[in-house]
Amino acid sequence: MALYRIRHAERLRGELEIHTAKNAVLPILCAGLLTREPLRIEGVPHLTDVDTLWAILQDCGAQICREGDALTLFTPEPVSPVEEDLLSRMRASVLVMGPLLARTGYARVGLPGGCAIGQRPIDLHLKGMQALGAESTLTPGSVTLQGTLRGGSVYLDFPSVGATENILLAAVLAQGVTRIENAAKEPEIVDLCALLSRMGAKIRGCGTSTLYIEGVRELHGCVYRPIPDRIEAGTLCCAVGMTQGSVFLRNIRPDHMRAVLYKLREAGMDFRESQAGLRISGRAKNPIQVRTLTYPGFPTDMQAPMMALALCSRGASVFCETIFENRFMHARELARLGARIRIEDRIALVEGGYPLQGAAVTSTDLRGGAALMLAGLLAQGETLLSDPHGHIARGYENLPGMLRELGADIEEATEDGWSSANG
Ligand code: EPZ
């Protein structure tokens, strides 16, 4: 449970370093199940999703320790997790399936809970495992897979990020060559391929829709630093555009954010890239049209923060959410601040430029919660954002603290009252 008190802010200014990407770190940590040798992942952010996965990986037999911002892990004897509730707590836990099958020929995993944004099935994950020779048995709440993995071909009906990652994590130790058609191309997939290759895997086609993996007998340990978080960076860019600020972001990959940066420019913002990072400045003033797509299209994880930004722009902005079936829940909470948003199925029409007034709102999911925090900066007066499930801390390492460093007035409720300590 978290409770934030957010006051109106103008002209956020300063410099920040972007953390490594949650959605790269999670599958990369699961690769720790593939080797007996120490795998050292540097720059691991302090997120509750990392803590949850840590517990699950330990339950799978991994030995893990943290030294500062690095996690070192290896797995002498992998076993299927028994703590099913852990698996239902976080969808990314389904990614232990591929490595466990690859190492032991057996995996029994809890069916990951759907979540607020959609039912989030794992049919494509199972299709991939079956293509590699595994047999799956569904029981209420869990799925069991077994079989000695051999190379195979699979076509993904949808370029699923998680299914691509799971099949990669299985195929690297399968006997023979695997081909994944219509694979996801997100930067996080390319990062996982880079990590696996450094561990000794043989992968071709990284970053394209067709991946070829030649299985090897074993993978060795290595040291690796995952890519920066393009969604954290995009979220902060939206905060700048909502307050007419000027901020310099270090440890950023603008090449991973083209769709977002072009949309911010269309909204009226300026940005300048340099070797050291990205300078983002200006105020959102133009309405925008956003359609979420798989990479390199506009990322669905940026839909909610971008909707908060659109509240600044005078005129009608249109959002089309093509990836998840229920990812507009933040809209009704934004409306409590006075936002004028109409939802028709997967289309949201946002009439921006109207003044917002602080109110009590509730976080609906990870990115929706971030959007509400940003909207609290725009609203006049004080916004109380309650986050009963701790969504924001799942995916952002201290988002309120980062915004405070830029001048925002955000306090967090503690047992001793309101705190704005950047602990
Ligand atoms: C990853 O989720 C990310 N999570 C999500 O980020 C992100 O929104 C999503 O990719 C899309 O980019 C992590 O990387 C941990 P998908 P994932 O499989 O792998 C359907 C965040 O906010 N689908 O690409 O679950 C599914 O229902 C999170 O950081 C199937 O139908 O996404 C959805 O409609 C939220 N069958 C669509 O594909 C399957 O077997 C996209 O899912 C798998 C997916």
Pocket of ligand 1, beta carbon within 6 A = 23, 26, 91-92, 118, 120-125, 158, 160-163, 300-301, 323-324, 366-367, 395
Strand order from edge to edge, sheet including 106-110 = 106-110, 142-146, 135-139
| Residue bearing the CA closest to ligand 1, atom 17 | 162
- Structural contact between residues 304 and 333, judged by C-beta atoms closer than 8 angstroms: no
Q: List, by residue number, the catalytic residues.
A: 115
Q: Is 347 helix (H, G, I), strand (E, B) or coil?
A: strand
| Residue bearing the CA closest to ligand 1, atom 6 | 301
Centre of ligand 1 to C-alpha 71, Å, is 25
Which mutation among 19, 20, 22, 23 tests ligand 1's pocket best, with the greatest number of atoms within 8 A of CB?
23
CA dihedral 31, 33, 35, 39 (to 10 degrees): 60
**Placement of tokens 């269309």 in the chain:** 266
Centre of ligand 1 to C-alpha 162, Å, is 6
**Placement of tokens 């930067």 in the chain:** 187
Q: 93: which DSSP letter?
A: G
Q: In a structure prediction context, what are the per-residue pLDDT tens digits for the chain, which is 423 residues long?
A: 899 999 999 999 999 999 999 999 999 999 999 999 999 999 999 999 999 999 999 999 999 999 999 999 999 999 987 666 666 778 888 999 999 999 999 998 887 765 666 676 899 999 999 999 999 998 888 889 999 999 999 999 999 999 999 999 999 999 999 999 999 999 999 999 999 999 999 999 999 999 999 999 999 999 999 999 999 999 999 999 999 999 999 999 999 999 999 999 999 999 999 999 999 999 999 999 999 999 999 999 999 999 999 999 999 999 999 999 999 999 999 999 999 999 999 999 999 999 999 999 999 999 999 999 999 999 999 999 999 999 999 999 999 999 999 999 999 998 888 998 765
Centre of ligand 1 to C-alpha 194, Å, is 21
Per-residue pLDDT, 18: 98
User: 262: exposed, middle or buried (C-beta count within 10 Å: 0-12, 13-18, 19+)?
Assistant: exposed
- Structural contact between residues 317 and 287, judged by C-beta atoms closer than 8 angstroms: yes
Per-residue pLDDT, 329: 97
Q: 7: which DSSP letter?
A: E
Query: Can you tell me which atom of ligand 1 is nearest the CA of 324?
Result: 34
HSE of 80 in the Cβ direction (CA atoms, 13 Å)?
18
Can you spell out the DSSP letters for 208-238? Answer: SSEEEEE--S-----EE-PPB-HHHHHHHHH
Strand order from edge to edge, sheet including 315-320 = 289-291, 315-320, 347-352, 340-344
Centre of ligand 1 to C-alpha 325, Å, is 11
Which mutation among 323, 327, 330, 397 tests ligand 1's pocket best, with the greatest number of atoms within 8 A of CB?
323
Q: Report pTM.
A: 0.97
